[in-house]
Amino acid sequence: MQRPDQRVGVFVDVQNMYYSARALYDQRVDFGEILKEAVGARKLIRAFAYVIQADHEDEGTFFTALQERGYELRSKPLQNFQGGNQKGDWDIGIAMDIVRILPKLDAVILVSGDGDFADLLRYIKSHGCRAEADAVFDLSQDTKRFLIPRKRKPMTGARKTAR
């Protein structure tokens, strides 16, 4: 149950949400709307967005947009391994931030589709804090609100069509 006096922390696994929305809907997540829905009329204490720096073209603009919407950015570079494998995840970092700030919160909102956080959510609840995950509000139920169509890049070069 949400109460206006609840102190809320929001923790967003950006990469997880970004790639899920892209794979399932071919769209982008509206992280501003996510934050509004997560907090509601409660008191936002902190909102973190966890991102991986992968040197993509619009990355800086995207990171700035997250900050303008009220998120504190946590970023780290994509790890590249021999053989071409890459890794970038924030599971431990998210868990540690939640554990550190937990005494100052009444509700923890974890926005991620990652099932690895199940033990963390049990830990949060065992300390008397409300734990909410994105399953509480299913983004697919209101795609017009929570998802943004991806911009298509214009085709370059001359293209002839047969008549």
Minimal CA–CA distance to 32: which of 142, 120, 148, 114? 148
Please say whether the beta carbons of 66 and 30 come within 8 A.
Answer: no
pTM equals 0.82
Domains along the chain with CATH numbers: 8-80 (3.40.50.1010)
**pLDDT by 10s per residue, the chain, length 163:** 789 999 999 999 998 888 888 888 888 889 999 999 999 999 999 999 999 998 888 889 999 999 999 999 999 988 777 787 767 789 999 999 999 999 999 999 999 888 889 899 999 999 999 988 754 556 677 777 887 777 765 555 544 444 3
Instruction: Indicate the pairing of strand 107-111 with strand 130-133.
Output: parallel
d(CA 152, CA 158): 17
- For residue 97, give both structure tokens: 């931030």
